[in-house]
Structure formats: structure tokens, C-alpha cells
Structure 1
Amino acid sequence: MKEVRVFDTTLRDGEQTPGVSLTVEQKLIIASALDKLGVDVIEAGTAIASEGDFKAIKEISNAGLNAEICSFCRIKKEDIDASADAEADSIFMVAPSSDIHIKSKFPDKGREDVIEMSVSAIEYAKERGLIVEFGAEDASRADLEFIVELFRNAVSAKADRLTYADTVGVLTPEKAESIMKRLTSEFNVPIAIHCHDDFGLATINTVYAIKAGASEFHATVNGIGERAGNAALEEIVMALEFHYGFKTSIIKENIYETSKLVEKLTRIVIPKHKPIVGEYAFTHESGIHTSAIMRDTSTYEPITPEMVGRKRQLVLGKHAGRASIEEIMKKLGYKADKNQMKEILVRVKELGDKGKRVTDADVKTIIETVLQIKQEKKVKLEDLSIVSGMHIMPTASVKLRINGQEIIEAATGLGPVDAAINAVKKAVSEFADIKLVSYHVDAITGGTDALVDVIVQLSRGDQIVTARGARTDIIMASVEALLEGLNMLI
């Protein structure tokens, strides 16, 4: 199996996503996770860009990570100096290669000037002791013969690696393959591919470039990045290893954990249907699918969720089948006769037909209602108060009765909802280690008095449940959903 290097640019190109700005501490947290994931190179930022980026690169460089730490550079001495001073191991230095970019960035210069400036910059970077990965920016809209000439001069100046950058995502798989065959036949140094997703082709373009001889690819976790984003690391890794027999250094079991961390710190929500890491990637609702999955997971899953650090989920809705209901009843320890099962299915499907997502708590209520089981809730809310304001840290105080025992706790949060949830989690901490996996809210009606529907996903060990709360008060709806879930888990 041919091994392919993974160059992660989540902290540089990924941070260029509109609205994303990471602190030094957040960058260090993500860098540590990327190192644990097994990436070969972490592009930690642009040292010349800001004091924060400089500090982040320096701290990451001195954090004792296994990955090579890289700083982004233009073909300018001040960029190189900043990167070297930040103690980066390497630089990803880019030069404009298309006539569009050359004219825009250097109005009074031409192609020969770019070559001259690039050679001078590379030689200076080598003097400063840096590993140089030299990239042709906007290469996919440039003259290929000029790219070859530019790269030839870069290699003569002792560039260590070369990168073909599809800066605006206009590359196609066929072109990626033919161009990379040409480049890898011309040069003996490692060549990387850097793709953007403007036409939704970033993953396949990267794969085709690797097939044609590229030995490294650039990508971001979750495919975040400016405009339509970058090539998604998790998609490329799984495609290369599963379909084409390439090997990477990525520890696949850490993919999902890293993905969720990046989602949390960047606040860029992962689309639910996103391959590999999306919420629905290993979630099944259809009755036919669910019954087959229970017998043989390979029927509707090309890879197991555990392979990428995930768990399978079976959800209910209007497509629910008997097998799904029986699986939930088995977990609850309940049995139903033929008529009762029919009635449970009808009620679940009715709820789904109303356009609602059916949660585990909804199904539990339906089952217990049909079976006429009266079960007292183990966790009850007796009181909740919130203090919040312009100059006050949102604080929540909660009084719960858990298994008959009165528990009073208080907690702060980023907002009143966060504070309330933190207070409840703190109150139940001695009874169970509960984690909030996801939180989703929808306004069902319009206006400031809108009815809101809150759905939470909670986990306790290997068990994951979903629960709903619906009220005009978003704080109470959130707490209600949390308590419903807790009553299933505790």
C-alpha cells in the first residue's frame, strides 16, 4: 500500500471561513487533536498575519507534537522571517501562477518576475533553516508550461516539496489526473494537491491527483474553508483507504471526535447528511433498512461506524417498522402482543406524518401509554431561576428531586440556556455521567411568543437517547427536553 502524507490546513485555510476566528488557546487545542488524529503536517496559521497567529504558531511549535508545524507564507522576506521567528518547522510558500493572480498582485510584473521572486524567497527561507513546501497559487487556471517552469526553478532553489493549488475549485478529475501525471514525471520531489470545493469536486479531484502520483494532499477537517470550503480530510482518507488501497497516517477511530471538536470551536455546524461525520451518516429510519441492519450491518452500511469512532443510530418516524419498535422495547424491558404492537406502530407513524422527528422519549411515552404502564419519573424539576443581564454572567439555580432526594445546584453559562443545562447536568452528576451530544431548536410558530421545539441528544456510556421539549419559553423547553432524556438514562 502506497503511503500518502496528510497536510492539514484547518487552522489556516479552515480559519478563513467567514465568521471563524480562533483564539491561541483554541488553536492549540485543535492542533493537539490533529496530532492525535495522526496528520503529518499542521499548517497552524500565517505568522505575519497577526500577533495572535504568530503566538499560536510559536506555542504549537513548542508543544511537543509529533506533526510538522507549518506557517503560510507569501514570497516575501518579512513572511519568512515571521515564520522562522515563530519557530515553525516549515512554510507553505505560495506564488501567484495564473495571469489573473499575477496581474492582480503584481500589476507591474510578469511571469519571469514571479520566478525570480520565488527563487529568491526559497533560497532565503532555506538560509533561515525552514523546510519549504512551494505552491503555485491558482495553478488550475494557469498555463501548465509556466507551472512546470516555475516548479523547475523552485526545485533548483532547493524547495523540498511542491504543491499544485486549485485555489478557486475549477479543476476536474480528468485534468487533475493528467496534470499530476505530467508533474510527477518531471520532478523527483514530493508533490501535493490542494483543492477547493466550489463545484463539489474537491474530494474526487484530490483522489484522482493521488491516483496519478501525488504523494501528499491538503485538506481541512469537515471541509471548512473560504467560499464553498476545502477538500474534506475525512472523506479523502476514507475514500483513499477503502476504495483505492492507499494508506495514510490517520487514526480513523479519532475522526469523529476531532470533527466534533472543530465544529464546536469554529461554530461551523456540520451538515446532517455530510459523509462520514454528519449526524445521519450512520442513522437509519426506514423499517426495511432497520430490520436488515439488525441482521447484517453491511446491508446498508459500506463501513462500520466504529471504524471512524462513531455509533449506529436507529431513529423512528413514519417509515418505522416493527423491528425498530421491538429493539427499543427490548432496551426498555417491555413486551407487547400483536395488537398492542400494531397500535404502537400506528401512533409512531401518526407522529411522523405530522412532520415531527420522533424522539426516543416520544416512543417510550407511546409504548407505556399503549401498554398502560405508569412509571414515575426519577428526575423531577421543582424549581428553576435564571439571572442574566448586560454586565452579569448568566447564572442558573435549579432544584431537582432525583429518586426522592432533593438536589440544589447552580451554574453559569455563555447564555441563560447554557447556564440552565449546566446546572441540571451538575445536579445529576453524582447519579450518572451524562453528556450532551447535540442540541437543536426550531421555532414552530412565528412572533416573539413562538412555540419552540427543542431536541437534545444525550449519552451515558454507550447508550444514546433523544428527547424533546416544546414551550414558548426556550429555557424551559430546553430543560424539559433534558429532563425527558435524563429520565430515560438514569
Structure 2
Amino acid sequence: MLIDTTLREGAQLFGAYFRMETREDILSGLLRLGVDEVEVGWVGQEGLEELVRRIRHGAGETKLSVWSPCRSADIRTAATLGVDRVNIGIPVSDAHMGKRLGLNRKGLLEKLGRMVLSAGLAGINYVSVGLEDVSRADRSFALDAALLAQTMGASRIRLADSLGVLSPRDMCELVAAFRMHLDIPVAVHCHNDFGMATANAVSALQSGATFADVSVLGIGERSGIAATEELAAYMAVRGGDVKYRVEYLRDLCALVAGAAGVDIPRNKAVAGADIFACESGLHAHALSKSPELFEPYDPALIGADRKTAVGGKSGRAAVSSALGKGKTAYPAEQLDNLVASVRRMSWELGRPLTPNEFTDLADSIHKH
């Protein structure tokens, strides 16, 4: 299951400021996509209560949650927001406990136990406890914290690789260790500092985690977290999960990119403009015969289009195929001349030829 946190983690991206209308548009897009849970923001965030009120009636099966520090006043506030779940964050590494909170291990466990208990007493029916920096924490102590939270009434434990230092194998081992001892679901929050976030999230889900945090385009602190579009597409296409309406992904990515002021690389997985573009001769020729040879899924599944072009990497097969599409009567003996001309022109332009450029070039050679 996917917990989208674009409006919490994503909003922490340096320089990103989402206006209320934009937050509502993003939330509507996430509901249309069909994510299982949306973390709509954090306690104390301006306009949070209004946002929840605006979208509450249209949330359908998607659960709405909010992030809260492990403080009694914030937890009491969270209980009044009308969300389905409250995600309480608390660090479990010694460095964070000592330098951020001024607590030792015993003090942190006492605080955690009190806060989870108080959340239940405040009327919060679903308390998720996020163990921050768990990847650098003492494993046995982190397990003690998780078990205490479970005993005090927590409904979920969220494991945060806060600095993105884990590999997929490390993530599998971490999740398996917690799943072995817990009776409540495990979630993961994977940062992308070494480019591992999406792979770690997939590995976690395959190793027994029930939930994975994601954000659109992976935006968030520093290099962000696992990407909504990548996880949703993978689970829909490879996992056969029909609840995710992945045809809406690219529009959602464009919306978030504009709002956050980030560019989408043209080769960005799922969201990029050129991920189904092909110029290479062998690949282009194969695509014309059987697209699945060089495409992992039908572009139409995510609302994308296939495009092929001839250029400096094209050979006889690709150029012949392009001629056939253009319905140009062209003598076979002149094909080599056309291939050479296509390659030369493409290198001069520094890009593949447009359909009109190719047609004009073919006609010019044909006439001579």
C-alpha cells in the first residue's frame, strides 16, 4: 500500500511553497490515482484544518493522515483535525536522541510510551509511530521502542531510513527483523540520498512491509524519497494491482513539477517526455515489428505516446521503415545514400530529424 506524503515530505523540498489551491489540486490528483493513504501535512501547518475540511467528503476509500511530533500538545491538536490516522515521529538513534531531544534511551522509551497512550486517550483510533533514523540506530533498542509502541496501542510502525543509507538487501533484513517481532503492520520511509529510495521501497514491500511512503517525483528533503509514479506504475504493471489509476500519473507529475518549481528530466522514469522515444536503428526496427521487445509496458497504460525518429544512430532498417510510413516511392539502390545523408544531417543539427525534415531529405535525394 502507498502512503503519499507529497503534501508533507514533498512540501519540505527547498524552495517549494504550495498554495491552498495547489494543495487541494494535488490531493485531488492523488485521490484520483487511488493511493491508499495521503499524509496531508503536519500539525501546525497553515491551512491544514481547512484543507482536510475541503477534501474530507471526497476522500472515498483513501485514508487521510497527518504527521505530528512526539509532543502532547501537538498530539491533542492532531486529534481535532478530523483525519483518519496520526503519524507520530520520534528518533531512535543515539545521536538524535542525545543531540536533538536531550534524552537517553530510557527517557525516550518513557516519552514514547506516554505519548502513544495519550494519543489513544485523545480519541485517535489509528496511531502510527515513525522510528526516525532507524537505519543508524541500535537494532535491539529500535525493536524495544516498536514493541513498546505496540503495547501502548500503536496501530503501525513506520521505519525511516532518514539519510538513505540502506541498500535493498539491508532494507529486506530490517523489515524482516521487525515483522518477526511485531503483530501490527510495518511501513517504510525511504530517502533517496544514494538513489536507492524506490528500490528500497519495493524491497520492503516484497519483504513483508505493508506500506511504503512516496511523494510525486520523489520530492522532499535533500534528494527526496521514493517516487509515487514509480511505485504506483511498478505495482500496477508488474504487480497487477488494479486499484492504482496509473493513466493519471503523468498529469499529476506535471502539476507537482510546476508547483514545486522542478524540471522533469525527459528520461525520468514514468514521467519523462522521451521514455518511449527511440532513434537507435535496431531498437526502432524491432519496435515497428513487436513493441514489447524493447518496451516494458504499453505507453498507453500511463497516458504516454510512442515516438520514433531517424537520426545519427539509424541504419538501413530504421530508414526503410520510416520511408514505408511516409509512403515515399524510393529505389532500393539509393537507400545507402539516404542513410548517410540522414546521419550527416542529424549530427549537424545535434538531434534526430523531424518527420518533415526526413521527408524533404528523402524527396530531395529521390529527385536526383
User: Of the candidates 161, 168, 172, which is equivalent to residue 163 of structure 2?
Assistant: 168
Which residue of structure 1 lines up, in the alignment, with residue 18 of structure 2?
A: 22
Shift of 1:333: 4.9
Map of 1:143-158 to 2, 5 A cutoff?
143-158=138-153
- Within the candidate set 300, 309, 313, 2:303 is matched to 309
Corresponding residue number in structure 1 for 2:6? 10
Deviation at 1:19, TM superposition (A): 1.8
CA distance in 1, matches of 2:353, 2:86: 49
Offset of residue 48 of structure 1? 0.9
- The secondary structure found in structure 2 opposite 1:27 is helix
Contact kept in structure 2, 1:6 and 1:248, CA below 8 Å: no
Equivalent residue for 2:68?
73
Aligned pair in 2 of structure 1 residues 332, 19: CA closer, same or farther (>3 Å)? Answer: farther
TM-score after normalising by structure 1: 0.68
User: How big is the shift at 1:328?
Assistant: 4.8
- Does the residue aligned with 2:47 lie in a helix, a strand or coil? helix
Q: Which has more radius of gyration? A: 1
* Aligned equivalents of 1:164, 1:67: Cα separation in 2: 21
Higher helix share: 2
Flag structure 2 segments of 5+ consecutive residues without an equivalent.
Answer: none
Change (3 A) 1:275 1:158: same
Pairing partner for 2:121 from 118, 127, 130: 127
Query: Is the 8 Å Cα contact of residues 44 and 60 (structure 1) preserved in structure 2?
Result: no
Tell me how far apart the structure 2 counterparts of residues 240 and 138 of structure 1 sit (CA, whole Å).
26
Distance 1:332 1:206, change over 3 A: same
Task: For residue 323 of structure 1, report the CA deviation from its aligned partner.
Answer: 4.6
Correspondent of 1:347 among 338, 341, 353: 341
**Partner residue, 2:226:** 231
Measured after TM superposition, the shift of residue 248 of structure 1 is: 6.9
Letter in 2 for 1:275: A
Q: Are the equivalent residues in 2 in contact too, given 1:195–1:231 (CA < 8 A)?
A: yes
What is the TM-score with the length of structure 2 in the denominator?
Answer: 0.89
The residue that corresponds to 1:217 in the other structure is 212
SS at match of 1:163: strand
Q: How many correspondences in the alignment?
A: 365
Change (3 A) 1:353 1:98: same
Cα-to-partner distance string for 1:143-196 (whole Å, 9 max, x where unaligned): 111111111111122111111110110112222112211211111111111101
Among 279, 289, 306, the alignment partner of 2:283 is 289
Mapped contact 2:236–2:244 kept (Cα < 8 A): no
* CA distance in 1: counterparts of 2:171 and 2:33, whole angstroms: 27
1:283 partner letter: A
- Corresponding residue of 1:185: 180
Question: CA 1:126–1:316 in 2, change beyond 3 Å: closer, same or farther?
Answer: farther
Instruction: Give the C-alpha shift of residue 308 in structure 1.
Output: 2.7
Correspondent of 1:208 among 200, 203, 220: 203
Aligned to 2:294: 300
Change (3 A) 1:328 1:26: farther
Counterpart-to-counterpart distance in 2, 1:81 and 1:371: 78
Cα deviation per residue 1:40-80 (whole Å; 9 max; x = unaligned)? 0011111313x234433443334444311111111123322
RMSD: 2.5
- CA shift at 1:365, angstroms? 4.2
Residue type of the alignment partner of 2:165: V
Percent sequence identity is 28
In structure 1, the gaps of 5 or more residues are: 373-490
Higher relative contact order (CA 8 A, sep 6+): 2
Correspondence for 1:48: 44
Q: Find the aligned partners of 1:72 and 1:121 in 2 and give their Cα distance.
A: 14
- Are the aligned partners of 2:188 and 2:213 in contact in 1 as well (CA < 8 Å)? yes
Q: Is the 8 A contact 1:45 1:57 kept in 2?
A: no
Shift of 1:37: 0.9
Question: Residue deviations 1:17-57, cap 9 Å, x none?
Answer: 212111111111111111111100011111313x2344334
Cα 1:342–1:117 change in 2 (3 A) is same
The equivalent residue for 1:105 is 100
Contact kept, 8 Å, 1:162 with 1:192, in 2: the verdict is: yes
